[in-house]
Structure 1
């Protein structure tokens, strides 16, 4: 049958245009559906957690400033890594009961009540006060090299003999109180950059080296106890590398502060965000 050339040419163009329109509409719809699904997944992943922060001053945020009045002498800071994580992830619930000066016994007596069968995420720093870390630092700052080394030796002996059992008891109690939780145990940083020690005022190189070795031993014991308990150990030493004491203008730790002694040898706000928050976020769900 004869067909007018106008109609013969027009029909295929209209058909191809329709196909292109339908393909475009399908792709737009698919992209929108994927975006909505991704948003829902992210909201579920971040909003479903019931997070509890336990531990000592390194978890409460001593040294980071901006302490909440309700925390009293526990000195919980809005700059602490747990609060920073909660601010960025928006969990279903978040509470910090970490407290300055806390030992493993304090966790057992005063902090476990914050946990429940519904808790899905727990973080903790603990162990330093069990071996008298703060008194060791005070001795090293105020007394002789020999007194400092004796104090360190006493602390490291306790870290080897007393601390493992205390950590095991504490981590097991956390597991019983929050059986479904992902428990993240964070360690402690080395205090000094020994490569800069020769021109850094304060303690002797011998004392600084001994203190770093003690921190390494403490982390080794904590890491082993966490692994034995089935928990995750987050090592912060890598994050603090290049930001220890003697790393002038880049320090994430307070040196001795005579105006506020409690801040001494604790992370600054930058140490909480760049050190602890970074290490925790890398392993938290």
Structure 2
């Protein structure tokens, strides 16, 4: 899926730690915990699009040093870290080009996938233009894909992951709702469209959670972590539409990665 600030002293310290790859206190490794190989798969939400600090390796994928996988790896020092998540990746892209680091020695896999398959970036591009009918029609088409086609795509991907990493704990992370309704936004979409987009994200998460459970994977829901930090809230962790850097639009900021996604991954361990 192809996003504004911290006020308290504790949050500022956490963000500063994230930007130096130390990670917040919630991500401290357990003492005596054995090192494991960690592989981070998925789309732009796992790559860290919108967070800045992009790595030179695989530049087109926009992998960020401030992404939750990079922060977790920096805090826990796994014996191996395969970071193959990539901007715009669909489930078929993950299968075709991201599974190389997986092996019987892999101990942890994290992944976000499904949003790009459903075409959420195109949906958002449609909805930011004037015209409620076109927006709601695009949302309905995405929901139809999520209900009809995505379950099979996820099953094929999850089966491939388990085949290549039979001993790994697999954590499938979901997506946050985009908007706080009745929030502080004075223009742009109306709450009718915002509500429809949030409902579509909820449906996407439900389908992902159901298929993850069917493969024995852990679903990690980030909606609670982002509650009060959606677009149109007083302290958003998601970027709104960015006309100068469109790819960053509707993606988590550095605080969204460090204070939203990272603690949810840590809590799922």
Alignment of 1:25-104 (within 5 A): 42=30, 44-45=32-33, 47-104=34-91
Please tell me whether residue 150 in structure 1 is matched to residue 137 in structure 2. yes
Please tell me whether residue 279 in structure 1 is matched to residue 230 in structure 2. no
Counterpart CA distance in 2 for 1:144 and 1:268 is: 28
TM-score for both structures, normalised by structure 2: 0.87
Please tell me whether residue 257 in structure 1 is matched to residue 242 in structure 2. yes
Could you tell me which residue of structure 2 aligns to residue 6 of structure 1? none
SS in structure 2 of the partner of residue 195 of structure 1: coil
SS in structure 2 of the partner of residue 166 of structure 1: helix
Counterpart CA distance in 1 for 2:186 and 2:222 is: 23
Q: Comparing both structures, which one devotes a greater share of its residues to helix?
A: 1
| Equivalent in 103, 117, 123 of residue 104 of structure 2 | 117
In 1, are the aligned partners of 2:241 and 2:249 still within 8 Å (CA)? yes
Could you tell me which residue of structure 2 aligns to residue 216 of structure 1? 202
SS in structure 2 of the partner of residue 69 of structure 1: coil
Counterpart CA distance in 2 for 1:175 and 1:165 is: 15
Alignment of 1:81-230 (within 5 A): 81-196=68-183, 200-230=186-216
SS in structure 2 of the partner of residue 266 of structure 1: coil
Structure 2, unmatched stretches of 5+, are 1-28
TM-score for both structures, normalised by structure 1: 0.82
Write the deviation string for residues 100-125 of structure 1: whole angstroms up to 9, x where unpaired: 00000001100111211110100000
User: Cα RMSD between the aligned structures?
Assistant: 1.3
Shift of 1:44: 4.1
Counterpart CA distance in 1 for 2:101 and 2:60 is: 18
Counterpart CA distance in 2 for 1:99 and 1:200 is: 33
Please tell me whether residue 239 in structure 1 is matched to residue 225 in structure 2. yes
SS in structure 2 of the partner of residue 168 of structure 1: helix
SS in structure 1 of the partner of residue 163 of structure 2: helix
Shift of 1:134: 0.3
Counterpart CA distance in 2 for 1:170 and 1:200 is: 41
In 1, are the aligned partners of 2:48 and 2:63 still within 8 Å (CA)? yes
Q: Say which one has the larger Rg.
A: 1
SS in structure 1 of the partner of residue 100 of structure 2: helix
